[in-house]
Amino acid sequence: MAKTNPGRFFEDYSDGQVLHHAVPRTVTDGERALYHALYPARHALYSSDEFARNCGLPQSPIDDLAAFHVVFGKTVPDISLNAVANLGYAEGRWLKPVYPGDTLRAESEVIGVKENSNGKTGVVWVRTRGFNQRDEVVIEYVRWVMVRKSNLDAPAPEAVVPDLKKALDPQDLVVPSGLDFTTYDFAQSGEAHRWGDYEIGETIDHVDGVTVEEAEHMLATRLWQNTAKVHFDLTFRPDGRLIYGGHVISMARALSFNGLANAQMIVGLNGGAHANPCFAGDTIKAWSEVLDKAQTTVPGIGAIRLRLVATKGGEPFVLKNEDGRYQPNVLLDLDYWALMPV
């Protein structure tokens, strides 16, 4: 009997199937420190236990994106080992902060399958949930991927395409229990701009850039136990080791501090596209656009919907070309909700 895991192929998925992902993971102060070594992260709520306490939390949580990466990493052996492309994200929500000492595990439910007309690949939609050691859902999101068929003779399943929200409604967003910006310290947070200071349609060039090295993205990707071969094995892909898309997300989010220092917590992921591949040597820059604003149910806490674009240089604020395709310098187009002091 073969002992190694070949991964699943398109014909192995069916609508309604539940996958229990392996290898739970305890995150600690070590992961927190590594996150700050790998990304220029400076949002104060994640940098200082004192700042977090002043905002009503027991201590600094693990970065929201680190929690996402750990949960995502769990799913790779079951979802994307034979994936051709990561097509999109939707309906992502952060439901509970993750603290040092918490142990995360993940489950995914298949919510859609559709074979492509070429008969060689298909699209699989999954809703993934990350749980802590108290079986509370800390994060959930929908992802869809294109997966190869192994047996080309396998019959096409009945197509099921889920109906996904283009963006989360503000009332779907969960403000962490206890979060309170009443005595928020704008001097300590790094910028004076409140939720009220941002206008829908406003764009921000985050100015700074980071040239990515091979060692860094591999350290990050291993830390989240993401095992996709293309990130580690230089013999696997002739054009270089592909950088895990989540590395680009975290780098861009950290760079966005410069202009969005008070967009403290990520609570919703409306969508995201890895527009072009990123390789070591690329210098990642970022810009943002304010897409929407909304009140939350908690006084003093506003929600801001942001488009976060990572590029490998070039002019900011240029996303697509005339025929609607992403510019070649665009790496990431992410649409998320964050919480800010009003």
Distance (Å, rounded) from C-alpha 290 to C-alpha 202? 5
Residue from 84, 164, 174, 210 in contact with a second copy (CB under 8 A): 210
Residue 261 within binding range of a second copy, rule CB under 8 A = yes
Residue 178 within binding range of a second copy, rule CB under 8 A = no
Min dist CB 276 to a second copy, Å, is: 18
Using an 8 Å Cβ cutoff, are 40 and 212 in contact? no
Residue from 109, 180, 205, 292 in contact with a second copy (CB under 8 A): 205
Q: Which of 160, 159, 122, 126 is nearest to 143 (CA)?
A: 126
- Interface region with a second copy, contact rule CB under 8 A, candidates 28-36, 137-145, 172-180, 301-309: 28-36
Residue 207 within binding range of a second copy, rule CB under 8 A = yes
Distance (Å, rounded) from C-alpha 37 to C-alpha 254? 11
Give the nearer residue to a second copy in terms of CB position, either 44 or 168: 44
Residue from 14, 236, 321, 328 in contact with a second copy (CB under 8 A): 236
Residue 283 within binding range of a second copy, rule CB under 8 A = yes
Residue from 69, 143, 206, 253 in contact with a second copy (CB under 8 A): 206
Query: Which residues have a Cβ under 8 Å from the Cβ of 30 and sit 6 or more positions away?
Result: none
The values of phi and psi at residue 142, to 5°, are -105, 140
Distance (Å, rounded) from C-alpha 28 to C-alpha 20? 23
**In the structure encoding, which two tokens stand for residue 236, read together?**
């696997």
- Interface region with a second copy, contact rule CB under 8 A, candidates 33-41, 85-93, 138-146, 318-326: 33-41
Residue from 136, 158, 169, 213 in contact with a second copy (CB under 8 A): 213
Distance (Å, rounded) from C-alpha 67 to C-alpha 126? 18
Which residues, numbered 90-109, are part of the site for a second copy (CB under 8 A)? 100-101, 103, 105
Give the nearer residue to a second copy in terms of CB position, either 154 or 218: 218
- Type and span of the H or E element at 284: strand 283-295
**In the structure encoding, which two tokens stand for residue 153, read together?**
């003779």
DSSP 140: E
Print the binding letters for residues 71-90 with a second copy: x by CB under 8 A, - otherwise: ------x-------------
**H-assigned helices in 211-268:** 214-223, 245-255, 257-260
- Interface region with a second copy, contact rule CB under 8 A, candidates 116-124, 149-157, 161-169, 226-234: 226-234
